[in-house]
Homo-oligomer: A and B are copies of this chain.
Amino acid sequence: MQRLGFEETIAELRANGVRLTPQRQWILRYLKETHSHPTAEQVHHEVSKALGGISLATVYNTLHTLTKMGVIRELSYGDGSSRFDGNETEHAHLVCEQCGIVLDVDSPEVEHILPKDLERTGFKVRSYRLEYYGLCEDCQATPRKTFANN
Chain A contacts to B: CB under 8 angstroms = 74, 76-78, 82, 94, 96-97, 103, 105, 107, 109-110, 113-114, 116-118, 121-137, 140
Contacts and interface: CB of A to CB of B under 8 A. Distances in A.
A118 to B, nearest CB: 6
Contacts of A78: 74, 76, 82
A86 B123 CA distance: 22
A140 to B, nearest CB: 6
B110 A124 contact: no
Given A97-B126, A123-B132, 10 more contacts: A74-B78, A76-B77, A96-B123, A105-B121, A124-B140, A125-B132, A126-B135, A127-B132, A129-B129, A129-B130
